[in-house]
Structure 1
Amino acid sequence: MARITGTWLSGPQAALPKSTDGREQSYRGEFLGFPQEGPGSLVGSGRRIAALLVDWVMAVGVASLITGDFFDGMTSTVTLMVWFAVGVVTVALFNFTPGQFVLGLQVARIEGPIRVGFVRALGRQALLVFVIPATITDIDGRGMQDRATGTLLVKSR
Structure 2
Amino acid sequence: MDNRDAIGSWLSGPRAAAEEMGADFGYRGKRLGLPEEGSGAVAPVGRRIGALFIDWALSALIAYGLLADRRLEATNNWALIVFLVMSLLTVGTVGSTPGKRLLGLRVVSLDGLTKLPVWRTAVRTVLLGLAIPALIWDRDNRGLHDRLSGSVQVRI
Deviations 1:53-99 (A, max 9, x none): 00000000000000015862210111011000000000000011000
TM-score normalised to structure 1 length: 0.83
Taking a change above 3 Å as real, the CA distance of residues 113 and 150 of structure 1, as seen in their structure-2 partners, is same
Taking a change above 3 Å as real, the CA distance of residues 150 and 12 of structure 1, as seen in their structure-2 partners, is farther
CA RMSD in angstroms, aligned pairs only = 2.1
AA aligned to 2:37 is E
Q: Which residue of 2 aligns with 1:143?
A: 143
CA drift of 1:148 comes to: 0.2
Instruction: Report the Cα distance in structure 2 between the residues aligned to 1:123 and 1:108, rounded to whole angstroms.
Output: 14
Task: Please say if residues 69 and 75 of structure 1, whose CA atoms lie closer than 8 Å, have aligned partners that are also in contact.
Answer: no
* Aligned-partner SS, 1:133: helix
Give the number of the structure whose alpha-carbon radius of gyration is greater: 2
Where does the alignment leave 5 or more consecutive residues of structure 2 unmatched?
A: 1-9
Q: Does residue 100 in structure 1 map to residue 104 in structure 2? A: no
Instruction: Report the Cα distance in structure 2 between the residues aligned to 1:140 and 1:152, rounded to whole angstroms.
Output: 9
| Percentage of matched positions with identical amino acids | 36
Segments of 4+ moved more than 4 angstroms:
10-13
Q: Which residue of 2 aligns with 1:134?
A: 134
Where does the alignment leave 5 or more consecutive residues of structure 1 unmatched?
A: 1-9
TM-score normalised to structure 2 length: 0.83
